[in-house]
Amino acid sequence: MIGKMKTRDRLIQILEASPNQWISGEYLAETFSLSRAAVWKAANSLRSEGYLIDAVRSKGYRLVTDADIMSDLGIIQYLSPDCRNLDIRVLSEVGSTNTLLKEKADAGSPEGTVLIADMQTDGKGRAGRRFYSPADTGIYMSILLRPVETEPSRGLRFTTMAAAAACDAIHDVSGKEPGIKWVNDIYLDCKKVCGILTEGSLSMESGLLDHVVLGIGINAYCPEGGFPPALKDIAGAVYDEKQMDGRNRLAAGFLNRFFAYYCQKDSDSFTKTYRRHSIVIGKEVTVISGASKRRALALSIDNDFRLVVQYEDGRTEHLSTGEVSIRLENDKSGVSSGD
Ligand code: BTN
């Protein structure tokens, strides 16, 4: 039976049996009792059908099923029709996508301008921290929003909307169940896989928000050799192994989910998602404010996304991010969360 198969069919059968593995041209030629030129011809015929086949003289051939190169078009192909008018630029390296986008915002770039980097040399985290942003493993994205007549106090809704959208998108691509640690860190298996930094600019005339730069960093994969020592116990990744178009799909999935929430008039739907993913509600927490540390029970998240806690003396308080941070009891990572 096998003798009657076309070389093209036999070649794809062998390559598909060992995806992403190199198989030497010599071995294939011997197996098919053909010349190496005939193998080359069959590989080209598969390529013309759309198969992604790498050929390297010293290594042979391999069927690529885990190529994950972020690109404008690679992301756009997965966008929903509502997101097709976004202006997306993927950069190979940048200091910080937030810093660059803030410059563009000041120069008048419109809402929907999106900068994504494969690597950041000066990635910014909250509270003046740095955000580790190595090449080829993460999505470092900033989105420019120009919300209409929005009080600065409403700015937190964009951060929480992004957290809800990130959970949706991570679940869509991986099937995993991420959790949100108030206010906007995303966790998988007790490790942080995503952080969000929202920076707003006020109009001096109106006192309203002029624009918002929403920055989100997602660890799609663990870096080769693992995270640096300071992060290895606290940082995790969305995917366990390389995925074909993994980052393009995740970046587009996030944009689709985020703009679906952003375009809705009410905040019901993302608020529900946000609360559903909270890993804080019902847990013992330590509330940290300056030098003071108090134990409390996290009861709920109110409609302004303040965390409602009850202290040991029975008193309750609505905590605003920016003023306090919290640490989950029994959280080995020791990472506190807050803006
Ligand atoms: C945090 O967890 O402290 C927030 C991290 C936010 C990181 C993102 S990556 C894209 C954007 N550009 C930056 O410099 N920071 C944000």
pLDDT of 327 strictly over 80: no
Question: Which tokens belong to 127?
Answer: 């509270």
Asked whether 227 and 235 are in contact (CB, 8 A), the reply is: yes
Alpha helices in the chain (DSSP H): 7-17, 25-32, 36-48, 72-76, 97-106, 156-174, 246-262, 268-276
Spacing, Cα 101 to ligand 1 middle (Å): 12
Of 65, 54, 66, 61, the residue nearest 31 (C-alpha): 61
> CB of 140 closer than 6 A to ligand 1?
yes
Asked whether 287 and 294 are in contact (CB, 8 A), the reply is: yes
Give residue 339's pLDDT.
Answer: 36
pLDDT of 168 strictly over 80: yes
Give dist(CA 73, CA 79) in Å, integer: 10
Helix (H) or strand (E) holding 51: none
pLDDT of 67 strictly over 90: no
Name the residue of 96, 145, 197, 198 whose CB sits within 8 Å of the most ligand 1 atoms, as the mutation to test its pocket.
197
Which range, of 65-74, 105-114, 156-165, averages the lowest pLDDT? 65-74
First to last CA, the chain: 66
Q: What is the pTM of this model?
A: 0.87
pLDDT of 58 strictly over 80: yes
Give residue 329's pLDDT.
Answer: 63
Give residue 105's pLDDT.
Answer: 97
Average pLDDT for the chain: 92
pLDDT of 338 strictly over 90: no
> CB of 142 closer than 6 A to ligand 1?
yes
> CB of 138 closer than 6 A to ligand 1?
no
Of 40, 38, 69, 34, the residue nearest 53 (C-alpha): 40
> CB of 236 closer than 6 A to ligand 1?
no
Task: Point out the ligand 1 atom lying closest to the alpha carbon of residue 96.
Answer: 14
Environment class of 247 (CB within 10 Å of its CB; exposed 0-12, middle 13-18, buried 19+)? buried
Spacing, Cα 55 to ligand 1 middle (Å): 38
Which residue CA neighbors atom 3 of ligand 1 most closely? 125
> CB of 62 closer than 6 A to ligand 1?
no
Give the pLDDT mean for 273-288.
Answer: 93
When pLDDT is cut at 50, 70 and 90, the band that residue 324 belongs to is low
pLDDT of 295 strictly over 70: yes
Give the pLDDT mean for 241-267.
Answer: 94
**φ, ψ at 310 (rounded to 5°):** -120, 125
Spacing, Cα 31 to ligand 1 middle (Å): 52
Asked whether 185 and 125 are in contact (CB, 8 A), the reply is: no
> CB of 174 closer than 6 A to ligand 1?
no
Percent of the chain with pLDDT over 70: 94
For 78-135, what is each residue's pLDDT tens digit? 999 999 899 999 999 999 999 999 999 999 999 999 999 999 999 999 989 999 999 9
Dihedral, CA atoms, 92, 250, 74, 85, nearest 10 degrees? -100
In 50-97, DSSP assigns E strands to 53-56, 60-63, 87-91
For 211-240, what is each residue's pLDDT tens digit? 999 999 999 999 999 999 999 999 999 999
> CB of 94 closer than 6 A to ligand 1?
no
When pLDDT is cut at 50, 70 and 90, the band that residue 322 belongs to is low
> CB of 256 closer than 6 A to ligand 1?
no
Give the pLDDT mean for 263-282.
Answer: 91
In angstroms, what is the C-alpha Rg of the chain?
24
When pLDDT is cut at 50, 70 and 90, the band that residue 320 belongs to is confident
Which residue CA neighbors atom 16 of ligand 1 most closely? 215
Percent of the chain with pLDDT over 90: 81
Give dist(CA 245, CA 68) in Å, integer: 4
> CB of 262 closer than 6 A to ligand 1?
no
Give the pLDDT mean for 248-262.
Answer: 97
Is 41 strand, coil or helix? helix
pLDDT of 2 strictly over 60: no
Spacing, Cα 60 to ligand 1 middle (Å): 41
Of 31, 2, 44, 318, the residue nearest 182 (C-alpha): 318
Spacing, Cα 115 to ligand 1 middle (Å): 12
Number of Cβ atoms within 10 Å of the Cβ of 302: 11
pLDDT of 282 strictly over 50: yes
